[in-house]
Amino acid sequence: MNKKQKQELGQSLIDFIQQEYSILDFIEVCGNDVEFEMDEENKKETFDIKIDKWNVVITTWYKNRGGDDEFPNSPTWDVNNQDVEFDGDGENFREWIKINWKDLRFYSSMGIWKEVYDGYEKNKKKEGE
């Protein structure tokens, strides 16, 4: 595969994750490899994920649907637009996905119940000690 094909592969994989799962779940799986920046003036958040031979930049812009609350501490702010851009080696990214697929599927399937499940597992381990 040439460089352009690897780039296109990576972008198609991240597009698939965005459509079929949750980009927030993807961010969660990436863990400590995520840098976060809040730009209050332009009402946007940026997550920059750098792992091995690839990186993904997720930029989300918000709009106010009404109200006087300041950004971002209000439920009146909705996502206006989101860009998800891949850069790097798509083959390396595909291998990373294979290794982390179970975690990505777990976070996506559990959704908001993840915290409940984690709490249950921690209590279960304590009881078994």
Q: What is the pLDDT of residues 27-63, one digit of tens each?
A: 988 988 999 999 988 889 999 999 999 999 999 998 8
For residue 59, the enclosing domain spans 3-128
What count of other Cβ atoms lies within 10 Å of the Cβ of residue 60? 17
Question: Mean of the pLDDT values across residues 52-80?
Answer: 82
86 backbone dihedrals φ, ψ, rounded to 5°: -100, 145
pLDDT at 74: 67
Q: How many domains does the chain have?
A: 1
Looking at the DSSP bridge assignments, the partners of residue 51 are: 54
E-only strand ranges, 10-53: 34-39, 44-51
pTM over 0.95: no
The enclosing H or E element of 25 equals helix 23-30
Res 91 pLDDT > 80: yes
Res 124 pLDDT > 50: no
